[in-house]
A and B are shown apart, each in its own frame.
Chain A
């Protein structure tokens, strides 16, 4: 018997290539005659573009072409709005998207103005300084609140204000609930921007074959199929003339989604004119400007509670920084609205946001995608309420959790996938109890903390809950083929950026067909192999593409059984599939190898019977009505040096529930990475803009990614509450690790400093310098 791989710590199929340096990334594409591209980018955040003089650059030896907006003609059109807003009644949305090269106006530092094509990247960079750009500066829009005041310069002058969108969502009657409350806690919260910081920067390589009229584009994208379809349309080619390959991609984390970045649009266009292969590889400095970012939000939020700590309602009002353009619609702030509800029974909820245009790089989802903000707001309000009511932090959470009998639970507001927010399943109380037990919450509070505090040590514990909407539609597809060699191929559209699709999807197919995981070759991210689907985002790869792979594999299984039944002369339900063979169950006869069966199913002579298809191959699609809801609890123990304000994380625990687990090893890897990202956001990573939207730390020297000595060992425990929304019971896990980290960090640090310090952390990130200031200010106030 081939042992089922589900739930096993299966090692990855893709690792050998990555570990030996053989795996191909986009920047590894080197073609004869290849030219290299660099972009002249705006040094000003906001201004009128009065003139571009590229004459000297065009003269420089080694420069092949210089293009400005004027050279693009009709191709210089604003890019598409990628995600239309969900149909929330009364919503306002102004979609403003970017031109491939700026014309008339620049709106952020780094906006591309001219494209230089040269024999090497070295020469292309030499030519950057040759281009003279004349910009008449306009005061930059930086601060979210100031951006909405009258008289402020407009990022998009055809609009009435810098408001990009406005949405109100309501559930129940918050005003009435508030009137009945014993206590209302209200605070202002900030959660600032960071970069995704995939270690691989973006890259695009293009080869246009003018004789075959075929274009191949290697692209560091999370969504090759939409990119192919969009580019074909823009370039006036058939979709079949364009092949987009997302080979190995060195980390995605959101910004490598189907952005139609200027570079993605311009290289194919130029390749068709120059008839030479082109490549652009973003450098790290460009990445800080040219690749999208996320996180800037300001909240004014209040929670109304009864004196026994039950949440009667929440009202949240927030501003969401969308940067200079808003191609990604309302995904981030809607996620914030929905995720704020957490695992709690919140009967009355009023949530309103305004998205704001600023002169900063474009905002699109980065791992977490607005969810951490919502969790930060509700978890912080609960902490403050617990303190004011004299209720223990874990206890107040327990009192408000949705019970296991409340599913599916309709929250009556709209989620990012344009469907109402419905939790599919969950079991929150045991998760919280398990986390409290593993971290030793009671004992820590009762014994360890007082003892350590008496010896001068400032230690604290934090514990926070979250739920995460994952695995949304619209759909993905997969084609499973048994080749005559016996190898099973599984082709799907989602790209892979390290999540382990080559293994996880192989496990799904292997278990359906009774073959080894290593015998399933997964092909992803190549439109020549599969061209229906969307991409890898919203923790959906395993859920949606996985379900499609399962369906396709089950269909192939049916074909194997049908054909096997005919050949072996036994009824299909008497057959078993194991070790890559179909045989009669319990018989000593070895049966038939899949490869032989595949040959028989594709005969060179004779007829394929009417109503059947040749070969052992099936294509299937999966489109969930709505996403599935993962959940979890994070707990952290920290020690704060009260003199230097340094914070050391002593323990970090994640108890989480992502439904049925395909591969615990990979799930743990996803969680570890997410937590590290969350720790970065909480404590290290900060994009510092001055009052003219100049980024002050566009390098890895000053933008601090957490290192191995900054991330503690992470303890994990798994719980499995399967999703009823897909056959396998799957929920997504890719983003879970980073969602509650800021909230749990804030709670733990406050707890370490103790109630006497009077420090309240309502802002993320929180550097030692900021913490020092908070400690100092509250110390003075106390005196």
Chain B
């Protein structure tokens, strides 16, 4: 299990990196944390001709909050995100999800941008970004553009990135700024701690002062070819106050209408759908609870 040979570049600056990606086009893979790419290369299921190692590019790792937006540089390591006070305050959902990603020794190397660009349908972060309505800044030698998470994930490991483009920054609207009564919650069901989830759910619920839901976002992972926004489920919540019946109806609608899971050796399509419903009910209930807590504070 040794990788096939490749041409290796380790640029020091962002323009150099973008130029290399442009020059090699589809033959080049950016190497961020490498925690998914190098295992695939060791199996020789990934055999990139050129690797552009981003680890020396200095200005891609940062976290800061400005004008209601949490900005995270794409090369920020998971470990730094999970330990960040800014993240805990500004994006509690992201903070809650971080420990579910693999294990500490993977999170020390893995990066937030790498994970999102990899777009594994069973990964936690893409769904979290959908639930938080995040936006990704992408750059190439031709310039920069911004892509909403809802438009970014296009299919199985598929993204809206064009050849030569690189995710450089993740922009997350600060949670309290979207409404004082906002609650978020995250959970997943996996066989073992750190494994890819058989199903997982991230939710964000905002209520008015009477506890009526004014907006809701639910995103699932592990149950489709990409992170799935549960539109039908979320729609049922809007204008309603929380009740067991509402939670059940939301979970049912999500499991029935919003996802179309495939089966694998760990979980059949039917079991995944069932889990998605159970987890949606639990997560949305917790998000509602937390929206009350924010309110009471």
Contact = CB atoms under 8 A, between A and B. Distances in A.
A adjacent to B, CB under 8 Å: yes
B157 interface: no
A769 B266 contact: yes
B105 interface: no
B266 A702 contact: yes
A710 B194 CA distance: 12
A126 B192 contact: no
A780 to B, nearest CB: 13
A646 B193 contact: no
B43 interface: yes
Contacts of B5: 122, 126
Interface string A740-783: 00000000000000000000000000011100110000000000
Given A769-B267, A769-B268, A769-B271, A709 B193 contact: yes
Given A696-B265, A769-B268, A772-B274, A704 B2 contact: no
A768 B191 contact: yes
B161 interface: no
B250 to A, nearest CB: 16
A684 interface: yes
Interface residues of A, number: 28
A79 to B, nearest CB: 26
B4 interface: yes
A interface majority secondary structure:
loop
B228 to A, nearest CB: 19
A689 B192 CA distance: 22
A697 interface: yes
B191 A704 contact: yes
Interface string B187-224: 00101111110100000000000000000000000000
Contacts of A767: 191, 266
Nearest to A703: B265
B271 A684 contact: no
B83 interface: no
B193 A697 contact: no
Contact of B192 (A284, A643, A684, A697): A684
Given A126-B5, A710-B192, A767-B266, A644 B43 contact: no
Contacts of A696: 265
B284 interface: no
A644 B268 contact: no
B56 interface: no
B18 interface: no
A30 interface: no
A186 interface: no
A396 B265 CA distance: 38
Given A285-B43, A684-B192, A688-B265, A772 B271 contact: yes
A71 interface: no
Interface string B253-297: 000000000000111100100110010000000000000000000
B191 A122 contact: no
Contacts of A704: 191-192, 195
A736 B274 CA distance: 38
A647 to B, nearest CB: 11
Contact of B1 (A285, A709, A769): A285
A334 to B, nearest CB: 32
Contacts of A284: 1
Interface string B139-159: 000000000000000000000
A706 B192 contact: yes
A702 B265 contact: yes
B1 A283 contact: yes
A125 interface: yes
B191 A684 contact: yes
B interface majority secondary structure:
loop
A457 to B, nearest CB: 16
Interface string A430-463: 0000000000000000000000000000000000
A122 B2 contact: yes
A263 to B, nearest CB: 16
B44 interface: yes
A588 interface: no
Interface in A691-718: 696-697, 699, 701-702, 704, 706-707, 709-710
A528 interface: no
A121 interface: yes
A285 B189 CA distance: 26
A122 B271 CA distance: 41
A121 B2 CA distance: 8
Contacts of B265: 686, 688, 696-697, 702
Given A702-B265, A769-B266, A125 B2 contact: yes
Contacts of B192: 684, 704, 706-707, 709-710
Contacts of B3: 122
B43 A646 contact: no
Contacts of B274: 772
A768 B1 CA distance: 31
A644 B278 contact: yes
Contacts of B194: 707
Interface in A636-667: 643-644, 646
Nearest to B5: A126
A707 B193 contact: yes
A709 B193 CA distance: 7
Contacts of B4: 126
Nearest to A690: B265
A125 B198 CA distance: 33
Nearest to B263: A769
Nearest to B268: A769
A696 B194 CA distance: 21
A704 B2 CA distance: 23
B71 to A, nearest CB: 33
A773 B263 CA distance: 14
Contacts of A122: 2-3, 5
Contacts of B266: 702, 767, 769
Nearest to B272: A769
Contacts of A643: 278
Nearest to B279: A644
Contacts of A773: 268, 271
Contacts of B2: 121-122, 125
15 contacts: A125-B2, A126-B5, A284-B1, A644-B189, A644-B275, A646-B189, A701-B196, A704-B191, A710-B192, A767-B191, A769-B198, A769-B266, A769-B268, A769-B271, A773-B271
Interface of A: 121-122, 125-126, 283-285, 643-644, 646, 684, 686, 688, 696-697, 699, 701-702, 704, 706-707, 709-710, 767-769, 772-773
Q: Which 10 A-B pairs have the closest CB atoms?
A: A283-B1, A122-B2, A688-B265, A709-B193, A643-B278, A769-B271, A769-B267, A125-B2, A772-B271, A696-B265
